[in-house]
Copies of this chain bind each other. A is one copy, B any other.
Amino acid sequence: MSRSINPELDLTISRLIRAPRSLVWNAWTDPSSFEQWWIPEPARCKVTEMELRPGGAFVTQISENGGDFQPHLSGCFLAVEDGERIVFTNALVGGWRPAEQPFMTAIITLQDHPDGTDYAAHVMHKSNADRNMHEEMGFYDGWGTVIGQLAKLVERRVQ
């Protein structure tokens, strides 16, 4: 259903997670697990809304250096396919309403791998300028770090 990757507009990152797909899915869709990996440590994450259905709100907050929680992501789920795929955007907020600061749509895909789960994120932007800004803001480091945190969390649960 999704289009192929456009290197001018998109950023992608993937990683093998040594845990079954169901565990990865649970760590994504259970807010108390999600909060443990979504933001690079030592900053903390709070899930304010996670309505896992098309049009559902997806809102997280961040606390850095022990400070108050501040807005982080305010977006909308576009597709939630059990155990396989989650699509969300910050171009819309809950109920599909246009957002104040649209920037990206992300397609998260989980596929079986002989050693666990192949976890992939495909992040789409409206322009090459936005794509490059996201890369310069530290896309690979940031998303790589939190996917690493996700892997650590679920790989611990396998044992």
- Please give the residue numbers on chain A whose beta carbons come within 8 Å of chain B beta carbons, in ascending order: 1-3, 9, 53-55, 78-79, 87, 89, 91-92, 94-100, 102-105, 107, 124-127, 130
Give bound CA distance, A9 to B97, whole Å.
9
Can you identify 18 A-B contacts, CB atoms within 8 angstroms? A2-B96, A3-B97, A9-B97, A54-B54, A54-B79, A55-B78, A55-B87, A78-B78, A78-B96, A91-B99, A92-B92, A92-B105, A95-B124, A96-B105, A97-B105, A98-B103, A98-B105, A100-B126
The copy count of this chain in the complex is 2
Interface contact B55-A1, CB-CB below 8 Å: yes
Q: Find out whether the CB atom of B102 lies under 8 angstroms from the CB atom of A124.
A: no
Chain A contact residues: over half helix, strand or loop, or mixed?
loop
Of chain B, the residue at the smallest CB distance from A103 is: B98
Q: Which residues of B contact A125 (CB under 8 A)?
A: 97-98
Q: How far is the CB of A119 from chain B (nearest CB, A)?
A: 19
Residues of the B chain whose Cβ atoms lie less than 8 Å from the Cβ of A91: 91-92, 98-99, 102
A127: chain B residues within 8 A (beta carbon): 100
